[in-house]
Amino acid sequence: MKILVMGHKGMLGSDLMDVLGRGHEVTGVDVGEFDITSGTDCARVVREFRPEAVVNAAAYTDVDGCETHRDACFAVNADGVRNVAEACRAAGAKAVHYSTDYVFDGTKGDPYLEEDPCRPINAYGESKRRGEEALVETLERHVLIRTAWLYGRQGKNFVKAILAKARDEGTLRVVDDQVGSPTFTLDLAQATKLLIERDCLGTYHVTNRGVCSWYDFARRILEYAQVAGVTVVPIPSSELDRKARRPAYSVLSNRKFMEATQKTMRPWQVALNDYLTGQSHIHR
């Protein structure tokens, strides 16, 4: 299949290139080659490559930055998605797009299902919800994948931040009142490939399996990376001075994905250990 990956230099986009490139004809575009906020650019790159599927991993992902740069954030995460969907509709292509646990308010207490009501509590979540609506309204042949707490080999992420801080400081203070499911971008890219190959359409929640707090996650990162002599102190979110509020409960149910693909996602601890020990390999 011919697949165009938008945002191919990003954390998820770079793994999508590797994973989808095994078995498919894949090309990628990113900043410099196109601007997702331009309808003309989106139409041009889709027309030039003539893909059967467009996978959009381009986004404005600075959650705190979205609070102060609302226009830029909505231009990419909401209007940009409409541009992609319109370009796909004109070209007869399917669109695969990513959204986030931050479309929910985090008060549910058990895993969020695809049809649960969305009530974002920050600008990033609002912009991603608007993008979801634009996709669903514009293009019937879409796959909308909500995911959470990503880390990967490319770019900045929580795992790299904890390891860097541990090198410089003897004590780390990490929030323990937000829970979610850490997810390796390589695993998400493989799940995406499955959904495309099985021709699944609609909305799916996809994360690694299991639940932890950021505090638990930090401790496990240090344990698997064999970093000794660093103390991790649990703190409430209220002690962190961040612009955007975060949902307290960010767990997404993978049940629909499992029923559609007959596959389960790996437990987050297994994926993290693979990532940290460099064992991660691409499953064919």
Ligand X SMILES: NC(=O)c1ccc[n+]([C@@H]2O[C@H](COP(=O)([O-])OP(=O)(O)OC[C@H]3O[C@@H](n4cnc5c(N)ncnc54)[C@H](OP(=O)(O)O)[C@@H]3O)[C@@H](O)[C@H]2O)c1
Quick one: which of 39, 65, 111, 155 contacts ligand X (CB under 6 A)? 155
105 contacts 66 by C-beta, under 8 angstroms: no
The burial of 171, by beta-carbon neighbours within 10 Å (0-12 exposed, 13-18 middle, 19 or more buried), is given as exposed
Rounded to an integer, what distance in angstroms lies between the CA atom of residue 183 and that of residue 151?
6
Q: How many CB atoms lie within 10 A of CB 5?
A: 30
Distance CA 67, CA 272 (A): 30
Q: Under rule CB under 6 A, how many of the chain's residues touch ligand X?
A: 26
64 in contact with ligand X (CB under 6 A): no
154's CB contacts (< 8 A; 6+ apart) are 9, 10, 11, 13, 14, 15, 185
Residue 81 Cβ vs ligand X, minimum distance, rounded to whole Å: 9
CB 254 within 8 A of CB 209: yes
Q: Quick check: 37 binds ligand X (CB under 6 A)? A: yes
Asked if residue 87 binds ligand X (CB under 6 A), the reply is no
Q: Which residue type does 277 have?
A: T
Q: Which is nearer to ligand X, 103 or 222 (CB)?
A: 103
Binding to ligand X by residue 57, rule CB under 6 A? yes
Q: Is 26 in the site for ligand X (CB under 6 A)?
A: no
Which of positions 225-264 make contact with ligand X (CB under 6 A)?
A: none
Sequence-distant (6+) residues with CB within 8 A of 27 are: 3, 4, 5, 49, 51
**Closer Cβ to ligand X, 125 or 232, answer by number:** 125
Q: Identify which range of 27-35, 167-175, 197-205, 265-273 contacts ligand X by CB under 6 A.
A: 27-35
Task: Check: CB of residue 54 under 8 Å from CB of residue 98.
Answer: no
By beta-carbon distance, which residue lies closest to ligand X?
Answer: 10
For the bound state, the minimum distance from the C-beta of residue 233 to ligand X, rounded and expressed in Å, comes to 23
Stretch that binds ligand X, among 30-38, 167-175, 245-253, 265-273 (CB under 6 A): 30-38
Please report whether residue 142 would count as binding ligand X according to CB under 6 A. Answer: no
> Rule CB under 6 A: is residue 129 a binding residue for ligand X?
no
| Catalytic residue from among 102, 124, 151, 215 | 124
Stretch that binds ligand X, among 141-149, 208-216, 253-261, 276-284 (CB under 6 A): 141-149
**CA 46 to CA 54: how far, in whole Å?**
8
Q: How far is the CB of 232 from ligand X (least distance, A)?
A: 20
By beta-carbon proximity to ligand X, the closer residue of 182 and 276 is 182
Diameter of the chain by CA atoms? 58
Residues 6+ apart with CB under 8 A from 262: none
The total of other beta-carbon atoms located within 10 Å of residue 25's CB is: 13
Stretch that binds ligand X, among 145-153, 196-204, 228-236, 273-281 (CB under 6 A): 145-153
Of residues 150, 132, 124, the one with CA closest to residue 96:
132
Looking only at the bridges linking them, the beta strands covering 212-213 and 179-180 are antiparallel
Q: Does 180 bind ligand X (CB under 6 A)?
A: no
Residue 11 engages ligand X in binding (rule: CB under 6 A):
yes
Give yes or no: 124 in active site: yes
Q: Which residues bind ligand X (CB under 6 A)?
A: 7, 9-13, 30-31, 34-37, 57-61, 76, 98, 100, 128, 147-150, 155
- Catalytic positions are 124
